[in-house]
Amino acid sequence: MNEPKQLSVTETAIDGLKIVSLPVHEDSRGWFKENWQRTKMISLGLPDFAPVQNNVSFNTARGTTRGFHAEPWDKYVSVVAGKVFGAWVDLRPGEGFGTLVTAEMDPSTAVFVPRGVANAFQTLNENTVYSYLVTEHWTAAAIERYSYVNLADETLNVPWPIDLSFAIVSEADEYHPRIEHAIPVAPKQILVLGGRGQLGSALARLAGEDSRLVVRSRTEIDITNPADLEQVPWRDYSFVINAAAYTKVDEAQSPTGRKAAWSVNASAVSQLAEYCLAHGVGLVHISTDYVFDGTKPVVTEDEALCPLGVYGESKAAGEVAARLVAQHYIIRTSWVVGDGANFVDTMRRLAHSDVAPLVVDDQIGRLTFAEDLARGILHLIDSDAAFGTYNLQGSGTPTSWYQLARKVFELCGYDADRVGATSTECFAKSRPTFALRPKNSVLDTSKLRATGYRTKDQISALAQYLR
Rounded Cα distance between 31 and 131, Å, is: 17
Give the residue numbers annotated as catalytic, written as ranges.
Answer: 69, 132
Per DSSP bridges, beta strands 8-11 and 18-21 are antiparallel
Phi then psi for residue 431, to 5 deg, are -115, 135
Rounded Cα distance between 364 and 343, Å, is: 14
Helix (H, G, I), strand (E, B) or coil at 373: helix
Contact 300, 391 (CB under 8 A): yes
Instruction: Write b or e for each residue in 408-419: b if 16 or more Cβ atoms lie within 10 A of its Cβ, otherwise e.
Output: bbbbeebeeeeb
Instruction: Tell me 299's DSSP state.
Output: B
Q: Give the E-state strand segments of 248-394 in sequence order.
A: 282-288, 328-333, 336-337, 358-360, 364-365, 368-369, 388-391
Contact 313, 304 (CB under 8 A): no
Contact 91, 6 (CB under 8 A): no
Rounded Cα distance between 265 and 251, Å, is: 14
Contact 33, 108 (CB under 8 A): yes
Contact 17, 92 (CB under 8 A): no
Per DSSP bridges, beta strands 364-365 and 399-400 are antiparallel
Positive or negative CA dihedral for 44, 185, 286, 49? negative
Laid out side by side, the sheet with 237-242 consists of 213-216, 189-193, 237-242, 282-288, 328-333, 388-391
Is residue 448 classed exposed, middle or buried when 0-12, 13-18 and 19+ CB atoms within 10 A define those classes? Answer: buried
CA angle 457, 394, 376 (to 5 degrees): 110
Q: Give the E-state strand segments of 334-435 in sequence order.
A: 336-337, 358-360, 364-365, 368-369, 388-391, 399-400, 420-422
Instruction: Please name every residue paired with 252 in a beta bridge, in sequence order, or none if there are none.
Output: none
